Amino acid sequence: MSRRKTERLLNLVVCLLATRRYLTAEQIRRAVPGYPDSDEAFKRMFERDKEELRELGVPLEVGSDQQGGGGEEIGYRIPPQAYELPDIHLSPDEAAVLGLAARVWQRASMAEAASGALLKLRAAGVETDVTTAVGIEPRVNTGDPAFPALWEAVRDARPVAFDYQGIGRTSVARRHLEPWGVVSRRGRWYVVGFDRDRDEQRVFRLSRITGDVVPDGPPGTVTVPEGVDVRRIAFDWGDPVSEPRPATVRLRAGAAQGPRRWARDVRAVGDGAWDEAVLTFRDVDRFAPYLARFADDVVVLDPPDLREAVIQQLKAVLAAGADQHAGRDTEREADTAADTVSETAADGTVSGR
């Protein structure tokens, strides 16, 4: 980095903040030290400087002072009321939760933004070093490679394109999306938006995006429809929820602790080697694999469709190796099935130590 450039940009900000009139490029060149003599070089450097200030979030206003007797030539200024952070005063308990919030983000993009915000709030007089008495430390990971590009696209209302490998799909497909929002649940990120290929709203999981997310249109061209709640779209899976049904099962005595945690009417049967219990379920396709996981510690007695589904599941395990199935459009079903019954990554592998 160059100290001289920082100095020049600083002078430029101070100069444009101090002026009420629009200053022309030529006036700026005279007022701010550090610009080169050559017209061409000055023009290039000034353009770059303006761009840098905009990236920094400095509101650079372009206009002219015709009515004020100025010329028609275009000029620049920074209106202080657009530049300045309004007053903000936080009590110690408020500052403590703010400090906690600033530590939430684990990865570069959002973590840096949070630090930048904290810096400005400190500058405004907020004391953020208050030790938190909250007793809880939340962390959010935005490690998906697609996250930064999608966040920028959402922020800038810009359409994107990317390759997507859906669950149950045999190949990746190019998808074109007008992104409305990005949301996270259980540590996994999803992007919600209008799918230009399917002509309807869709949800994509970031971990299934392969390769780069690239802009697919100019900024400002995505409109989030009135009343859209990205959270609801992402987590409302849309398929009609079946009514809960009771299942009668046998659980091996002393085993199947998982199902026992929410079983009711548990009673010993026979010689005490087994218990009979009632479990509640909604979806056979999700529940049968969950029960199969307990192998011969769980036996389904009723209803017949669930019993049959578990038998088929176990037969499929025996027949393993043959890939008979490519899926229909089962992205969501597969997802939810996994959500409902999985030990998540951390648990599964971290467990048993």
CB of 319: closest distance to another protein in angstroms?
Answer: 7
Q: Find out whether 48 and 36 touch, Cβ atoms under 8 Å.
A: no
Identify which range of 67-75, 195-203, 263-271, 315-323 contacts another protein by CB under 8 A.
Answer: 315-323
Q: Find out whether 50 and 9 touch, Cβ atoms under 8 Å.
A: no
CB of 285: closest distance to another protein in angstroms?
Answer: 10
CB of 116: closest distance to another protein in angstroms?
Answer: 5
Q: Is 240 in the site for another protein (CB under 8 A)?
A: no
CB of 46: closest distance to another protein in angstroms?
Answer: 15
Nearest to another protein of 213, 230 (CB atom): 230
DSSP class of 96: H
Identify which range of 38-46, 119-127, 236-244, 265-273 contacts another protein by CB under 8 A.
Answer: 119-127
Task: Compute the distance between CA of residue 177 and CA of residue 257 in angstroms, rounded to an integer.
Answer: 44
CB of 267: closest distance to another protein in angstroms?
Answer: 19
Listed in sequence order, the residues at least 6 apart from 23 whose beta carbon sits closer than 8 Å to its beta carbon are 15, 16, 31, 75, 76, 77
Nearest to another protein of 69, 243 (CB atom): 69
Q: Which of 53, 57, 61, 55 is nearest to 13 (CA)?
A: 53
Task: Compute the distance between CA of residue 248 and CA of residue 65 in angstroms, rounded to an integer.
Answer: 82
User: Which residue is associated with the tokens 């499929």?
Assistant: 316
Select from 36, 63, 71, 116 the one that contacts another protein (CB under 8 A): 116
Q: In 237-318, which ranges are continuous DSSP H helix?
A: 257-260, 284-292, 304-318
Task: Compute the distance between CA of residue 97 and CA of residue 131 in angstroms, rounded to an integer.
Answer: 10
- Residues 29 to 58: which contact another protein by CB under 8 A? 30-33, 52, 55-58
Task: Compute the distance between CA of residue 207 and CA of residue 286 in angstroms, rounded to an integer.
Answer: 22
CA atoms within 13 A on the CB side of 189: 18
Q: Is 154 in the site for another protein (CB under 8 A)?
A: yes
Identify which range of 39-47, 203-211, 213-221, 241-249 contacts another protein by CB under 8 A.
Answer: 203-211
Nearest to another protein of 216, 256 (CB atom): 256
Select from 45, 70, 161, 167 the one that contacts another protein (CB under 8 A): 167
Q: Is 7 helix (H, G, I), strand (E, B) or coil?
A: helix
Identify which range of 38-46, 63-71, 240-248, 313-321 contacts another protein by CB under 8 A.
Answer: 313-321
Select from 68, 69, 136, 199 the one that contacts another protein (CB under 8 A): 136
Q: Is 85 in the site for another protein (CB under 8 A)?
A: yes
Extract the tokens encoding 173: 């497909």
